[in-house]
Amino acid sequence: MIQDFLNELTNYLSGQSFSIQLISWLVIILLLIVGFYLLISLLFFPFMYLYNRLTDKNKSNPLSKKDVLLGKLTLKIHGDSIGEVMEIGSKEARSTYPAKFFREKDRLSGLKLEKGTNVIIIEFDDQGIALVIENKNG
C-alpha cells in the first residue's frame, strides 16, 4: 500500500518541473520528520510525566522551617506578589528563594519593599516560598 502510494507519487512528480519536485520532496521529508518527532514525544510523554512528578522539585536545598535568616531582596515584593530573596545571613553559600510577606496585614495593605532591601526570613511555607519581614536594623 505504501509502496503503491510512493510509486504513484514518483510517477506524478516525474512529470513536474525540477523546482516543483524539489519542493515536494522537501515538504514530504519535513512532514516525516515532524511525524517522527510527534510519535517519539507521544511515546515518551508518560515516562517524562512520571519522572517529573516523582523526582525532587528543589526540596533538597530549602532550609528548615525553623531557621531565621537574613536576606536581601533581589526582586521587589509589592502586596500579595512574589519576589525573590537572596539568603545572606549564614556562612554557607548564598541561595535565592521565592519570597512573599510573612504578615497578612503587609500583603493586604499593599506594602512595597524594593530590590536591595534587607529582610528577615521568618520561615518557609509548604511550597518552599520564603516568608519575610523588613529588617529595620540592617
The answer to whether 130 and 85 are in contact (CB under 8 A) is yes
* CA 113/CA 133 separation, integer angstroms: 9
Query: For 26-47, what is the mean pLDDT?
Result: 93
Q: Where are the domains of the chain?
A: 2-54, 69-134
As a whole number of angstroms, the distance between CA 12 and CA 18 comes to 12
Q: CATH number of 69-134: 2.60.120.620, 2.40.50.140, 2.60.40.1180, 3.90.226.10?
A: 2.40.50.140
Q: How far apart are CA 123 and CA 125, in angstroms?
A: 7
CA-based nearest residue to 25, from 89, 16, 93: 16
pLDDT of residue 125: 87
Reported confidence tier of residue 15, pLDDT bands at 50, 70, 90: confident
Condensed to tens digits (0 to 9), the pLDDT of residues 52-96 reads: 888 866 655 555 555 568 889 999 998 889 999 998 876 677 788
**Residue 32: its pLDDT value, please?**
94
pLDDT recorded at residue 85: 93
Higher pLDDT, 138 or 79: 79
pTM for the predicted model, two decimal places: 0.51
pLDDT on residue 38 = 95
Alpha carbon distance 88, 117 (integer Å): 12
- pLDDT tier for residue 1 given thresholds of 50, 70 and 90: confident
pLDDT band at 119 (very low <50, low <70, confident <90, very high): very high
